[in-house]
Amino acid sequence: MTQETTEKKRIYPSYDGSVSRDAKERRNGHRGHVFWLFGLSGSGKSTLAYGLERLLHRDGVLVQVLDGDNVRTGLNSNLGFSDEDRCENIRRIAEVAKLFVSSGNVVIVSFITPKKSYRELAKSIVGEGDFTAVYVNASFEACAARDVKGLYAKAKAGEVKQFTGKDSVFEPAQNDEALILNTEASNYESCLETLTKCVREKIQQENAKK
């Protein structure tokens, strides 16, 4: 057995600590759950995530947003946009989301998560019962027309490499994989309403594990 394996065997992860998740959820008055928003850059993920956060907070829900641009400047600042780094990015976020959910938080995750295999990885880390995938769908052309951050123009000029949807793959989801919000066909209010309805159903206390 290598030294590394021996060391790993001495680590006993505990997610419940001295106060159980159930106890925390009962006090919060809602279940913890991860809503994993994914889609192209500029599709509207962050806008929906922060809109949802405001609504839930107003209603007394314990809520945390994990957003691509923010997490990549801190925890994941050593990662770029190769396939390997994107996968590691998602793995770490899923582990963080799992910690938050174990304290009964509603976690709104907002990352491109371009491949189905990364979404599957995130779901397997968080746990299927605590995970809802939400595809924020807008075409590459629509996102390029919005170009909120000016990145599409830079990618076109060759200044941003491995750009998702251009030189780096994005695998769209079907509705057997995720709740789909089409931000091109529907307006922000309508997408937020659909998302909020789904969230409220998932976090209802009656669904809490006894």
Helical pair 83-102 and 116-126, crossing angle rounded to 10 deg: 30
Give, as ranges, the residues between 32 and 91 that touch ligand ADX (CB under 6 A).
Answer: 41, 68-69, 72, 81, 86, 89
Which of residues 104 and 114 has its CB atom nearest to ligand ADX in the complex? 114
Name the minimum Å distance from CB 208 to ligand ADX.
30
Give, as ranges, the residues between 104 and 123 that touch ligand ADX (CB under 6 A).
Answer: 111-114
Query: Out of 64, 103, 162, 194, which residue is the one contacting ligand ADX (CB under 6 A)?
Result: 162
Q: How many residues bind ligand ADX (CB under 6 A)?
A: 17
Query: Out of 144, 160, 191, 195, which residue is the one contacting ligand ADX (CB under 6 A)?
Result: 160
Give, as ranges, the residues between 178 and 207 that touch ligand ADX (CB under 6 A).
Answer: none
Strands (E), the chain: 33-38, 63-67, 106-110, 131-137, 179-182
- At position 54, the amino acid (one-letter code) is R
Name the minimum Å distance from CB 81 to ligand ADX.
4
Query: Out of 151, 180, 198, 208, which residue is the one contacting ligand ADX (CB under 6 A)?
Result: 151
Which of residues 20 and 139 has its CB atom nearest to ligand ADX in the complex? 139
Name the minimum Å distance from CB 25 to ligand ADX.
28
In contact, 78 and 107? CB cutoff 8 Å: no
d(CA 169, CA 163): 8
d(CA 207, CA 121): 24
CB within 8 Å of 66: residues ≥ 6 apart: 93, 96, 97, 100, 107, 108, 109, 110, 111
Which of residues 111 and 131 has its CB atom nearest to ligand ADX in the complex? 111
- At position 128, the amino acid (one-letter code) is E
